[in-house]
């Protein structure tokens, strides 16, 4: 197995996380838009079970998504596994490969100064002039990421993805994740993804992670959901036979 094979596998795994990370930012934008609509309409009854249910669906989805996209074990395709592999084998993507990719991706017609600026993008991952990625920088990124996601993922594992059976009985359970912790964890995931996207795609950068969505999706909110005379279903009919 060659270093080039290792790098190709690394790229394949990184690519598989891309849509998942983008989806997380897409969903946060949808949620914040809904909250903005509620805040702007004083006639909406707030704080009831309906709003709580919407918030629970959003937070559970986001917590599971963050856990999925930051997987680290050998059976996961996640950002932490990618960074661990890079730190363990920093020679997978040498500087000369990075510069070669820039020229192969349509930048060959650029002048020397512009090419030098693109080539310098490798200095995000290594000291100027170094031929290979600095593993210490990757480990530092991993440590920074873990500061913001470890408690979030621990809560997800114990309270969302599983119902933790604490045999110690009286041991205190994990407190719920706050909105601030959730946003900080997501922003950390996004920041790492944006940074290493530049390694995966030399000469390119992600300007933003929140995708542009057609405003047509809000049309369903322009009409009251409860038509005049609407009768609630009998909840007994919703039970399994």
Q: What is the pLDDT of residues 62-88, one digit of tens each?
A: 999 999 999 999 889 999 999 999 999
Structure-derived torsion over alpha carbons of residues 162, 166, 170, 172, reported in degrees to the nearest 10: -40
Nearest to 62 by CA among 212, 198, 185: 185
State the CB neighbour count (10 A cutoff) for residue 92: 21
Once rounded to an integer, what is the mean pLDDT over residues 96-103?
87
Rounded (10°) CA dihedral 169, 177, 75, 79: -150
pLDDT of residue 203: 87
Distance CA 18, CA 110 (A): 28
Q: Comparing C-alpha atoms, which of 86, 198, 89, 96 is closest to residue 138?
A: 86
Question: Rounded CA gap, 103 and 62, in Å?
Answer: 38
- Positive or negative, the CA dihedral 147, 190, 119, 12 is positive
Percent of the chain topping pLDDT 70: 95
Query: In whole angstroms, what is the distance from residue 8 CA to residue 65 CA?
Result: 25
Nearest by Cα to 141 from 195, 200, 90, 181: 195
Distance CA 185, CA 25 (A): 12
Closest CA to 20 of 59, 77, 75: 77
**228 Cβ contact partners less than 8 Å away, ≥ 6 residues apart:** none
Banded model confidence at residue 16, pLDDT cuts 50, 70, 90: very high
Residue carrying structure tokens 């600095």: 134
135-147 pLDDT per residue, tens:
999 999 999 999 9
Query: What confidence score (pLDDT) does residue 170 get?
Result: 55
Tokens of 165: 């059976």
Cα separation, 144 vs 9, in Å, equals 25
Q: DSSP secondary structure string, 25-40?
A: HHHHHHHHHHHHHHHH
Number of C-alpha atoms within 13 angstroms, CB side, residue 31? Answer: 20
Confidence of residue 132 (pLDDT cuts 50, 70, 90): very high
Selected residue with higher pLDDT from 141 and 175: 141
């Amino acid at each position: 197995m060659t270093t080039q094979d290792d790098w190709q596998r690394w790229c394949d795994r990184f690519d598989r996380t891309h849509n998942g990370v983008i989806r997380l930012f897409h969903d946060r934008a949808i949620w914040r838009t809904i909250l903005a609509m509620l805040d702007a309409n004083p006639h909406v009854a707030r704080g009831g079970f309906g709003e709580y249910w919407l918030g629970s669906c959003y937070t559970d989805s986001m917590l599971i998504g963050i856990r999925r996209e930051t997987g680290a074990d050998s059976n996961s395709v996640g950002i932490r596994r990618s960074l661990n592999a890079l730190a363990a084998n920093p020679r997978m993507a040498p500087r000369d490969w990075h510069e070669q990719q820039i020229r192969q991706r349509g930048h060959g017609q650029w002048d020397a100064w512009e090419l030098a600026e693109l080539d310098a993008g490798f200095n995000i991952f290594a000291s100027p002039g170094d031929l290979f990625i600095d593993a210490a920088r990757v480990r530092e990124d991993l440590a920074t990421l873990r500061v913001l996601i470890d408690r979030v993922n621990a809560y997800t594992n114990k309270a969302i993805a599983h119902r933790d059976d604490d045999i110690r009985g009286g041991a205190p359970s994990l407190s719920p994740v706050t909105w601030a912790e959730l946003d900080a964890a997501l922003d950390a995931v996004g920041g790492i993804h944006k940074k290493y996207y530049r390694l995966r795609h030399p000469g390119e950068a992600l300007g933003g992670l929140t995708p542009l969505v057609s405003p047509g999706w809000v049309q369903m909110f322009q009409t009251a959901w409860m038509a005049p005379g609407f009768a609630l279903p009998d909840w007994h009919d919703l039970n399994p036979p």
